[in-house]
Homo-oligomer: A and B are copies of this chain.
Amino acid sequence: MSLARFTEDPPRICRTFLSPTMRAVHRQIEDWMRPLGMTVTLDAAGNLHGLYPGADGAACKLLIGSHLDTVPDAGAYDGILGVMLAISVVESLGGRRLPFAIEVVGFSEEEGVRFGVPFIGSRALVGRLDEELLSRRDSDGISVQEAILSYELKPSEIPAARLSQGVLGYLEFHIEQGPVLENRGFPLGIVEAIAGQTRMELVFTGVANHAGTTPMESRRDALVAAAEWTVAVEKSARDIPGLVATVGALNAKPGATNVIAGQCCATLDIRHASDATRTQSVSAFLHSATEIAKRRGISLTSSTKLVQTATPMDSLFLHEIDAAVSQSGITPYRMISGAGHDAMVLAEKVPAAMVFLRSPGGISHNSRESVLVEDVAKAIECGFHLLNQLAVSPEFQMRANRA
Residues of A with Cβ closer than 8 Å to B? 176-180, 183, 195, 197, 199, 209-218, 221, 223-224, 226-228, 230-231, 234, 237-238, 243-252, 254-261, 267-269, 271, 305, 337-340, 362, 364-365
Contacts and interface: CB of A to CB of B under 8 A. Distances in A.
A338 B214 contact: yes
B248 A250 contact: no
Nearest to A213: B178
A64 B230 CA distance: 49
B218 A362 contact: yes
Given A223-B230, A223-B249, A213 B257 contact: no
Contacts of A180: 213, 215, 218
Contacts of A337: 212-213
A260 B233 CA distance: 13
Nearest to A245: B216
B252 A257 contact: no
Given A178-B213, A227-B230, A238-B216, A248 B258 contact: yes
A144 to B, nearest CB: 22
Contacts of A221: 234, 246
Contacts of A178: 209-210, 212-215, 218
A242 to B, nearest CB: 8
Q: Which of A215, A224, A245, A255 has the most CB of B within 10 A?
A: A215
A223 B248 contact: yes
A227 B244 contact: no
A250 B247 contact: no
Closest 3 CB pairs of A and B: A178-B213, A212-B338, A227-B227
Contacts of A269: 211-212, 257-258
B218 A179 contact: yes
B228 A179 contact: no
A224 B230 CA distance: 6
Contacts of A362: 209, 213-214, 218
Contacts of A251: 255
Given A231-B224, A362-B209, A214 B260 contact: no
B216 A234 contact: yes
A271 B211 CA distance: 9
A258 B308 CA distance: 14
Nearest to A237: B216
Contacts of A238: 216-217
A255 B267 CA distance: 9
Contacts of A211: 244, 246, 248, 269, 271, 338
12 contacts: A176-B213, A178-B210, A178-B218, A211-B271, A212-B271, A212-B339, A227-B231, A227-B250, A248-B257, A249-B255, A249-B256, A258-B269
Contact of A210 (B177, B234, B243, B249): B177
Contacts of A214: 178-179, 244, 338, 362
Given A212-B269, A214-B362, 15 more contacts: A177-B210, A178-B214, A183-B218, A199-B258, A211-B271, A212-B271, A213-B337, A216-B237, A216-B243, A216-B245, A221-B246, A223-B230, A246-B260, A248-B257, A250-B252
